[in-house]
Amino acid sequence: MSALTNKTFIISGGVSGIGAATARIAHGRGANLVLTDLNEGAGAAIVKELGERVLFLRHDVTKEPEWISVVAETKSRFGKLDGILNSAGVGRVASVEDCTLEEFRFVNAVNATGTFLGCKHGVLAMKETGGGSLVNISSVLGLRGMNGAPAYCASKGSVRLLSKSVAMHCAAMRYNIRCNSVHPGWIETPMVTPRIQQSADPAETRARMEKMHPIGRLGRPEEIGALCVFLLSDEASLLTGAEFVGDGGLTA
């Protein structure tokens, strides 16, 4: 892949898991990064790790005024915006009978509304400066249902079709802004690994989850990160409105 020098990307949820893995790869290729998250401690740590060309902003993706500030600060610090990875997300386990309305709204606010706001303010900024790329993290659970995850499945299904709608709008308007969704299987991140470790029988839980993936293992964050960096780059210039599955064959 070519260098990303002079490209500037915002990564929500950029201090942990898939967001941080994407940040490390994009930074290694020369990109300027604005990493946003609620977790300020992890934000300070990744800024220290990566050094130059990285800004951390505390940001709640469910709040529109905060998106407006994040985009404005990105433009002020780095000149322009070339792409957003919407990776901030939360997971909850509860059946449709047990999931409270508050929980359903919370998960959808972060995963679906947060991604909508990222797309909206990304389009508004990037249409003025020649285009860019929006990459939205959905899930294999945005492609198929799972018992015990109605809020999460609904939110990730929303991200999938939101992405296609945004892609079609930007194509029709000739903005040169692409928008795609990414659908990971189970990836070893702080969203997943502690749940395995805290389960009643961690070895059995891990073996069961690994077996769900035909390749016989869970994914690594950098494996999804490499895909996200490619989609953010100009090399993916024909790719828009598409869904990219990274699941070791789980949905095959």
Ligand X SMILES: NC(=O)c1ccc[n+]([C@@H]2O[C@H](COP(=O)([O-])OP(=O)(O)OC[C@H]3O[C@@H](n4cnc5c(N)ncnc54)[C@H](O)[C@@H]3O)[C@@H](O)[C@H]2O)c1
Q: Cβ of residue 245: shortest distance to ligand X, in angstroms?
A: 10
- Which of 251, 249, 252, 247 lies closest to 185 in space, CA to CA? 247
**For residue 70, how far is the Cα from the chain centroid?**
16
Catalytic annotation present for 152: yes
- Binding flag, residue 110, ligand X (CB under 6 A): yes
- Binding flag, residue 213, ligand X (CB under 6 A): no
- Parallel, antiparallel or unpaired: strands 83-86 and 54-58: unpaired
- Binding flag, residue 108, ligand X (CB under 6 A): no
Enter the tokens of residue 247.
Answer: 């699941």
Q: Which residues contact 91 (CB under 8 A, 6 or more apart)?
A: 107, 149, 152, 191
| Closer Cβ to ligand X, 75 or 92, answer by number | 92
Q: Cβ of residue 25: shortest distance to ligand X, in angstroms?
A: 14
CA–CA gap between residue 210 and residue 9 (Å, rounded): 33
Q: Catalytic: which of 9, 104, 116, 152? A: 152
Q: Cβ of residue 186: shortest distance to ligand X, in angstroms?
A: 4
- Binding flag, residue 34, ligand X (CB under 6 A): no
> How many residues touch ligand X (CB under 6 A)?
31
Answer yes or no: are the C-beta atoms of 121 and 36 closer than 8 Å. Answer: no
**Which one of residues 28, 79, 130, 190 is an interface residue with ligand X (CB under 6 A)?**
190
- Binding flag, residue 87, ligand X (CB under 6 A): yes
CA–CA gap between residue 120 and residue 200 (Å, rounded): 42
- Binding flag, residue 121, ligand X (CB under 6 A): no
CA–CA gap between residue 12 and residue 117 (Å, rounded): 11
- Binding flag, residue 116, ligand X (CB under 6 A): no
**Which one of residues 7, 27, 59, 121 is an interface residue with ligand X (CB under 6 A)?**
59
Q: Contact letters (x/-) for ligand X, 12-31, by CB under 6 A?
A: xx-xxxxx------------
CA–CA gap between residue 143 and residue 249 (Å, rounded): 13
| Residue 131 backbone class (left: φ over 0; alpha: ψ -120 to 50; beta: rest) | left
Enter the tokens of residue 157.
Answer: 């299904």
Give catalytic residue positions.
Answer: 152
| Residues at the contact surface with ligand X, assessed by CB under 6 A | 12-13, 15-19, 37-39, 59-62, 87-91, 110-111, 114, 137, 139, 184, 186-187, 189-192
